[in-house]
Chain A
Amino acid sequence: MSKRTHSTAQYPHRHLLSIEGLTAGELTLLLDLAEKAAAQSREIMKKTDTLRGRTQVNLFFEASTRTQSSFELAGKRLGADVMNMSVSASSVNKGETLLDTAVTLNAMRPDILVVRHSEAGAVELLSQKVDCSVINAGDGSHQHPTQALLDALTIRRNKGKIETLIVTICGDILHSRVARSNIMTLNALGAQVRVVAPSTLLPPGVEDLGVEVFTSMAEGLKDADVVMMLRLQRERMSGAFVPSTREYFRFFGLDHDKLAHARPDALIMHPGPMNRGVEIDSAVADDERSVIREQVEMGVAVRMAVLEALARHLPNS
């Protein structure tokens, strides 16, 4: 396979910083590209030369083995030279380090920067200081666009569509960039999105993002086509936001009793890494309706698609 061209639709942006601002057509284009990348990844010869000669730098201010490997593999499958940089964000003054790092990196003339940072808005700030394309691999509680795309792709592959599906996102909505990106993506693609969480884990005004809000799993899961669980960070389980893991699991953990309120063919999703017995029961995570492993596979495909879509905007293109 060689470079593809899309005469009808093109991805018009230089960066992928947020789902916000992307049209349904642009999202669908990325999903279509990812579908092809997924097929390519199942071939013996997985590699193309789409990004041959290009340099991709994965700049992770916040550690993440899974996402970083996924981006690394995606870049390599498209023929790019991939370099991983892990920067400790805690040791020095963050704002200064970020911009200094940006200037330094820019001088090395990379073509694509994949950036994760613990602060919301940090990736966008960095994108203003460099000449290359920037992909947001997660910034604070703000956005994680490739996660939302891989979730949408997984849903579309299993349900054949996204429009009109009831998708319930459960858990720590307050701190979740995954939830925010998913709400925007799924709304743009015509799904009916719900969130379920204890009120302490709901962002103020979340209903204005276009979701139905529930504090009871039984109500929020009623007739759902897709159940998307979120990870609850350990430090939030011991009294500040929720009293304990056992109380959280009792009221908000996905077990077969609660899942019974959803449609019988409901998909079970989780962005990983899972806390078994906290937000999801082990048996549910391994249920035949669980598509958690497929999500990981689609992760690589979606990242290949995004890299490919950005390729035409790269310097000297």
Chain B
Amino acid sequence: MAAQNDNDPKVGEGSSDGPSALINARIVDPASGHDELGGLLIEDGMIADFGPHLRRNAPKGADIIDCRGKVLAPGLIDMQVATGEPGDEHRETLETASRAAAAGGVTTMMVTPDTDPVIDDVALVDFIQRRARDTAQVHVLPSAALTKELAGQEMSEIGLLREAGAVAFSNGPHSVVNAQVMCRLLTYARDFDALVIHHVEDPDLARSGVMNSGSMASRLGLPGIHSAAETIMLERDVRLVDWTRGRYHAAMISCDDSLGVIRQAKKRKLPVTCGVSINNLALNENDIGPYRTFFKVRPPLRCEDERRAMVEGVARGHIDVIVSAHNPQDVDAKRRPFQEASDGAIGLETMLSAALRLVHDDELTLLELLRAMTARPAEILGLASGRIAQGLPADLIVVDLDVPWVVAPEKLQSRSKNTAFDEARLTGYVCRTLVNGRTVHQRSR
């Protein structure tokens, strides 16, 4: 635990032993749309009270945390986190990922099933839950494999896995190519009200592509992935959802055409939602520059117009959630020629700070941004958290919006250091993260 005492002697640990009060805060709650000065009282790990009346005074005996006008918001919920546990613990464990999450203000992370072994059995869902309980500092929600071994052929035990605690089902980084299989999955999942999360990329169209298709890729001499590879798969899926009415979430979209498909699906009231990676909101293909492999991600970084379209999609609520797409890779997997290097970048610790760029540049409002990281993912996953309300677990973050800092990879909590924001100058970070009322991360200037 990285909690350290602030200079202010009144500031306590926010431990769950006694009541604690976060005073002098700017409370921002996207679920209710509230953005006002006030305070918040925590008792037994739960939000006991909050509002303007607690701004300056807290009940006697409460441990007082002075937020000094900083933003107090619900803890972030990240729907796309890969760790290396089980199987590749040298890259990341649930413990190290959870420390990175706490440092980035993520109080709930959903972990992907593409581990070794694949999470396609109730015993493995149980394993993730037990490991998380024993080692993790934030809430960990397991998602389970949609098909056995992620092979895209036979459906996994969706009913039993859901009973065991899997909150969603995905095929990891692979699309289910066979439309008949996808159709039956959506149909079967509907009976259990299970959420199907799909990576949308036609593997035949994407082929050996390693970055966005276009002049940039042509100049670098790298095979490209056209955005149509994504949109075609998404269009097929939406047609299948129309047929089956299964609950569907496109894990990460990256282009305006896909956004159009999502918009149409929502207009027709289909049970379709989607996410976008922080990478596709904050970066574009030009960042790859001279073959920087830390910018090799899936979906690939697109051109600036597509990036802007994604930001606007978030602003208008057509894109439901922002995810970190946290994907730890060791140095050896990244220090290779671009085509050979692994996909993925870590993101848990930098997601909010990188997204705040968009707020500072007036591309998004703070409420729009936080909604996509709190209230919306909570709704999609059926969680009570993601909002500030009496009786809910005190999963909260205190954010300093204006403090400038430089990302130093060696200081990141994640076991792998493959950040796309290496040495980036960012503005704003999470000063304090509370999970069930307990401070799990604290950072001061």
The digit string for A242-264, where 1 denotes a CB below 8 A from any CB of B, is 11101100110000000000000
Interface contact B159-A239, CB-CB below 8 Å: no
Q: Does A7 lie at the interface of the complex (its beta carbon under 8 Å from any beta carbon of B)? A: no
Binding site for A on B (CB under 8 A): 147-148, 153-160, 181, 184, 187-188, 190-191, 244
* Interface of chain B: mostly helix, strand, loop or mixed: helix
Please give the distance in Å from A186's CB to the nearest CB on chain B. 25
Residue in B147, B148, B156, B187 whose CB lies within 8 Å of A199:
B187
- A198-B191, A199-B190 given as contacts; is B184 within 8 A of A243 (CB)? no
The digit string for A210-239, where 1 denotes a CB below 8 A from any CB of B, is 000001000000000000000000000011
* Interface of chain A: mostly helix, strand, loop or mixed: loop
On chain A, the residues within 8 Å of B184 by CB distance are 200, 240-241
Interface contact B154-A199, CB-CB below 8 Å: no
Chain B residue at minimal CB-CB distance from A215: B191
On chain A, the residues within 8 Å of B148 by CB distance are 239, 243
Interface contact B188-A199, CB-CB below 8 Å: yes
* Number of residues from A at the complex interface, CB < 8 A: 15
The distance in angstroms between the C-alpha atoms of A291 and B364, with both chains bound, is 68
On chain A, the residues within 8 Å of B181 by CB distance are 240
Interface contact B157-A199, CB-CB below 8 Å: no
Interface contact A243-B156, CB-CB below 8 Å: yes
Kindly count the residue-residue contacts between A and B in the assembled complex, taking CB atoms under 8 Å apart.
44
Residue in A199, A240, A251 whose CB lies within 8 Å of B159:
A251
Interface contact B160-A239, CB-CB below 8 Å: no
Please give the distance in Å from A8's CB to the nearest CB on chain B. 48
Interface contact A239-B188, CB-CB below 8 Å: no
Chain B residue at minimal CB-CB distance from A250: B160
On chain A, the residues within 8 Å of B158 by CB distance are 243, 247
Interface contact A243-B187, CB-CB below 8 Å: no
Interface contact B155-A243, CB-CB below 8 Å: yes
On chain B, the residues within 8 Å of A239 by CB distance are 147-148, 153-156
- A240-B154, A240-B184 given as contacts; is B160 within 8 A of A247 (CB)? yes
Interface contact A244-B187, CB-CB below 8 Å: no
Binding site for B on A (CB under 8 A): 198-200, 215, 238-244, 246-247, 250-251
On chain A, the residues within 8 Å of B244 by CB distance are 199
On chain A, the residues within 8 Å of B153 by CB distance are 239
On chain B, the residues within 8 Å of A198 by CB distance are 188, 191
On chain A, the residues within 8 Å of B190 by CB distance are 199
On chain B, the residues within 8 Å of A247 by CB distance are 157-160
The distance in angstroms between the C-alpha atoms of A253 and B147, with both chains bound, is 22
The distance in angstroms between the C-alpha atoms of A240 and B190, with both chains bound, is 16
Known: A198-B191, A239-B153, A243-B156. 20 other contacts (CB 8 A): A199-B187, A199-B190, A199-B244, A200-B188, A239-B154, A240-B155, A240-B181, A240-B184, A242-B155, A242-B188, A243-B154, A243-B155, A243-B158, A243-B188, A244-B157, A246-B160, A247-B158, A247-B159, A247-B160, A250-B159
Chain A residue at minimal CB-CB distance from B244: A199
On chain A, the residues within 8 Å of B159 by CB distance are 243, 247, 250-251
A-B contact pairs, 10 of them (CB 8 A): A198-B191, A199-B191, A241-B184, A243-B148, A243-B154, A243-B156, A243-B157, A243-B160, A250-B160, A251-B159
Please give the distance in Å from B119's CB to the nearest CB on chain A. 14
Chain A residue at minimal CB-CB distance from B180: A240
Q: Which 5 A-B pairs have the closest CB atoms?
A: A239-B154, A247-B157, A243-B157, A215-B191, A199-B187
